[in-house]
Structure 1
């Protein structure tokens, strides 16, 4: 069984989406016409957690801003349904069919420095349903050390995802990883138990999902900042020529940091 052709995105309101974000979201439907596309708002996200993972609801509700919840819900969605998660500031350049069989969980690198704390973004992620890797992420979400982190990148976002991946890579030599997964598994009813397969977590190079590196000054100056400042999109011919080997490109709007577009 490969990753299901299901695309999940979320925004604070499904009826009030900025034009550039709406355009980028539409490219996922255009490039993948046979896929199911679900766009949820903040209320949909909370309802999903309350209905299926009520044990996590106190943590979810206690987050200080919506961005933390938007981060967290994507991990639960991928565990529950599988499919593809994509941020709304991400453009789909080419069909995603070819990457669906790459692994049980597929993550993307950003940049050339794997030691950078946010080098494994959670802006595009793919998964088969009920993969135990996401139980490890859920465990970290509730770890007191994680909850003490003030910035969402570290509490719920890419730095947390990278931490989970590092732990997953050493799970055979570190019994605490299996204990973390088992503790979350014990909270789940029988129909939500994790798959017992190999759980292959694959990371693809940065050019596949994240050819723009927001930690790169040149990318910032010539691509990201002008596009976001002017709220414009690149024409299709240009964007395909700029990123000839990429399936997606994220423009890193970080909309939760701007008061005018606060989540």
Structure 2
């Protein structure tokens, strides 16, 4: 069992992360089908596959594009990285070395950083129906969360938060799948929206868009009325974060009662090949509070080795 297939480490587990990007990532792709209604769901039928069988079906179809978002702009991100470097913070939110590592491990990939101007240009050109919702979000972190499924729907590829450090190339972990996701914790029922990969135009990304549009009034109401940080955190999880990704995944896979044993593993549903990696198998090697695990990860990263059984 390979537990340190941890390609990257999510450094800061926040309710949502702040966004990034610097220029309009202008690859123009053909117009995709319109957003389905919230009632849309694929035909029934779930076939369990092991990973080897799934990978044998087709070569890599997920575009080799890494998307990262920091809506305040690349310059603002670099200033934050420099500030934390000067302060030698033990628990950093940003570190230039993390982004550099992901670039170094993926030399043949396109790397796209999205700032607010680039985000608005994409939405105006391709998803104008969502612009009023995007503008209504009260915090930049909500906008950063909301942008992610639009990037993947328009271009496909791999979305990474800016606090992710890469330890290996990601290509093999995507090979043969149409959508690749990560469990957020050991509970096998929560999906992490800090790392997501897939083909463009997929129904999962469209469903996330629809749910964000539908749940935005709830988020705004909570922002304007609640005084509880915990309640506000739950509202963000529900309206733009991991809970929304989970609910969208359930909707497009008709999940209820069908994925026996939880989400983890390879599944083919209505022609889509999904891979859901467990904690410790992809971008998140450790529970956030497991300090011993994080120490082992640091050792492995420094020595560029893999440590089995670190969880």
Provide the TM-score with structure 2 as the length reference.
0.60
Matches within 5 A, 1:68-217: 68-115=142-189, 119-144=190-215, 147-149=217-219, 150=222, 151-170=235-254, 198-207=271-280, 208-214=282-288, 217=289
Change (3 A) 1:51 1:30: same
Structure 1 residue 172: deviation in Å?
9.8
1:218 to 273, 290, 308: 290
For these two proteins, the number of residue pairs brought into alignment is 209
Structure 1 residue 44: deviation in Å?
1.4
1:6 to 65, 68, 90: 65
Residue 45 of structure 2 is matched in structure 1 by: none
Residue 51 of structure 1 is matched in structure 2 by: 125
Unmatched segments (≥5 aa) in structure 2: 1-59, 83-93, 223-234, 258-269
Query: How far apart in 2 are the matches of 1:60 and 1:163?
Result: 20
Change (3 A) 1:244 1:128: farther
Q: Over aligned residues, Cα RMSD in angstroms?
A: 3.0
2:302 to 230, 234, 238: 238
Query: How far apart in 2 are the matches of 1:200 and 1:130?
Result: 14
Unmatched segments (≥5 aa) in structure 1: 174-196, 225-232, 247-263
Query: How far apart in 1 are the matches of 2:62 and 2:309?
Result: 21
Structure 1 residue 80: deviation in Å?
0.6
Contact between 1:78 and 1:127, CA under 8 Å: does it hold in 2? yes
Per-residue CA distance 1:99-132 (angstroms, 9 max, x = gap) = 22242111011221124xxx31111111111111
The runs of at least 4 consecutive aligned structure 1 residues that moved more than 3 Å come to 221-224, 233-246
Provide the TM-score with structure 1 as the length reference.
0.70
Query: How far apart in 2 are the matches of 1:90 and 1:240?
Result: 17
Change (3 A) 1:171 1:241: closer
Would you tell me which structure has more helix in proportion to its own residues? 1
Change (3 A) 1:103 1:236: same
Contact between 2:250 and 2:256, CA under 8 Å: does it hold in 1? no
Per-residue CA distance 1:213-233 (angstroms, 9 max, x = gap) = 23xx334x9849xxxxxxxx9
Residue 8 of structure 1: SS of its match in structure 2? strand
Change (3 A) 1:211 1:237: closer
Residue 197 of structure 2: SS of its match in structure 1? strand
Query: How far apart in 2 are the matches of 1:154 and 1:68?
Result: 11
Of structures 1 and 2, the one scoring higher in RCO (CA 8 A, sep 6+) is: 2
Per-residue CA distance 1:189-240 (angstroms, 9 max, x = gap) = xxxxxxxx823332111111211323xx334x9849xxxxxxxx95774374
Query: How far apart in 1 are the matches of 2:101 and 2:239?
Result: 30
Q: Which of the two has higher C-alpha Rg?
A: 2
